[in-house]
Amino acid sequence: MLAAMSRQLSRIMRPDDANIAGNVHGGTILKMIEEAGAIISTRHCNSQAGEPCVAALARVERTDFLSPMCIGEVANVSAEITYTSRHSVEVQVNVMSENILTGAKKVTNKATLWYVPLSLKNVNKVVEVPPIQYARKEQEDEGKKRYEEQKLDRLETKQRNGDVILPVINPGRGGEVAHEECWGMKVAQMVFSPLSSLLTDRQTKEPHTVGYSQSSLIHLVGPSDCTLLGFVHGGVTMKLMDEVAGIVAARHCKTNIVTASVDAINFHEKIKKGCVITVSGRMTFTSNKSMEIEVFVDADPFVDEPRERYRAVSAFFTYVSLSKEGRPLPVPQLLTETEDEKRRFEEGKGRYLQTKAKRQAQMQQAAQQ
C-alpha cells in the first residue's frame, strides 16, 4: 500500500478508561479504533480535487479482544486502507498495548471497518472514493469479495431489525442493582453494596432470566458527540453500546467482566445532533464461561423533525466473567421463558459454535505451519 494510506494514534490509558479491576473498557478501545479509521478515510476521500466530504462509519466487522489492556499502558492504534469501492472504504486497524516501563508490547485488537464519504454540502449525498493502488491484483479481488460479503450481511441484518427490547420493571433482585436514567448525560449506572463484594465470592450457579439483567441507557446527542456534519461519531455510539452490554453482563454474573469480542456492528441510519438515543441490551446466550448480549440503538429525532423512532445500530457483544486473579469463571445459565428467547438462544449458540470451530481451525493451521 502507499505510505499515505496508513495512520497511527497513541494514547496512555487513564483510570477513567478502565473498570474497577483496572482493565480498559472495550468501548474505549472501539472508540480509538473508529477515530483512527475516520481520520484515514476522510483524509483519503479528500485527497483529490472534488466535493469536500466526511467519512461516516457504516460497519465494523467482528473484532476479538485478544489481550487485556491496563491503566498506565499506551495504546498504539494503526490504521491502513486496504480496499476502496466506488462509494466505500475498507480500513484495517490493529491495536497494540505498550508497557512504557518495561517496553513489552502485545497485540490486543484487530478490526475491519467500512466507511462511506458524505458530502459537506449535502449530508444525504455519498461522493465517489478515489481509488487506491494495489501491490497485487489478488489484493483487489480479495477486497472486492469482502465488500460483497459485508454488503449482503448488512442488508440481511437490517431486515431483521423489527425486533424491540421492551423495558422490564425492577429486573434486579433484593436491591442488588439500581438503574438510573436522566437526560443529557451518561445515565446507565450500577450501584452495588459494598464495592469490594463485587469482586469477592458472589458467583452463583442459579440461572437468571433475560429480564433479570436487561438494561438500557438514554443519551441526548450533543455537539461533542458529532462529526462536522452534525451526526454522531461511530466511536461514541460503540462506546455507549459497550457500556450497556457490560452492565448486562455484570448484572448477570455479579463479577468483574471484560469484553471478549464484538460481532459485526451495523450502522443502519445516521443519528443527528439533538436526537435522543436509547441504547438497550439483553442477554441472548450463555456458554459455560461466556455471555452474548444483543444491543440495539434507537433514535428519536424530535428536536428538529417530527420523525418516528428508528433503529440506527445493532450488534452482539460477547463478555467473559473473571476472578480477582483475572481467570475465567463459569457464568450462571440463562433461563429462557418465551419462544422468542429460546429462538434467540439457539441462534446465539449457533454463532458461538461457529466461532469456536473457526478458532480451532486457525489454531490447527498455525500449529501445522
157 neighbors 296 (Cβ within 8 angstroms):
no
Element housing 65 (H / E)? strand 63-65
pLDDT of residue 303: 66
Long-range contacts of 102-107 (CB under 8 A, 24+ apart): 105/76, 106/67, 107/66, 107/67
Residue 174: the pLDDT is 37
3-state secondary structure of 99: coil
Residue 174, phi then psi, degrees to nearest 5: 60, 25
Ranges of the chain whose pLDDT falls below 50: 1-4, 172-204
Q: 19, 153, 161, 300: which one is catalytic? A: 19
The CA angle 114-115-118, to the nearest 5 degrees, is: 160
Q: From residue 142, give the alpha-carbon distance in Å to each of 67, 84, 125, 134, 145.
A: 28, 12, 28, 11, 5
Q: Point out the catalytic residue in the list 17, 76, 109, 242.
A: 242
pTM (2 d.p.) = 0.86
**Three-state SS letters, 236-305:** HHHHHHHHHHHHHHHHHHCCEEEEEEECCEEECCCCECCCEEEEEEEEEEECCCEEEEEEEEEEECCCCC
Would you call 19 a catalytic residue per the annotation? yes
**Which of 278, 317, 274, 273 has its CA nearest to residue 298?**
278
pLDDT at 358: 86
**Cell numbers representing residue 67 in the block:** 489481550
139-169 in b/e form (b: 16+ CB < 10 A) is ebeebeeebeebeeebeebeeebeeebeebe
242 catalytic? Reply is yes
Instruction: Report the C-alpha gap between 323 and 330 in whole angstroms.
Output: 10
C-alpha to C-alpha distances, 1 to 137, 147, 276, 334, nearest whole angstrom? 12, 18, 41, 47
pLDDT at 169: 54
Through-space distance between the first and last CA atoms of the chain, rounded to whole angstroms? 26
Residue with cell 459497550: 242
Grid coordinates belonging to 5: 494510506
* pLDDT for 85: 97
| Interatomic CA distance for residues 332 and 297, integer angstroms | 26
Whether the CB-CB separation of 257 and 322 falls below 8 Å is answered with yes
Provide the residue count of the chain: 369
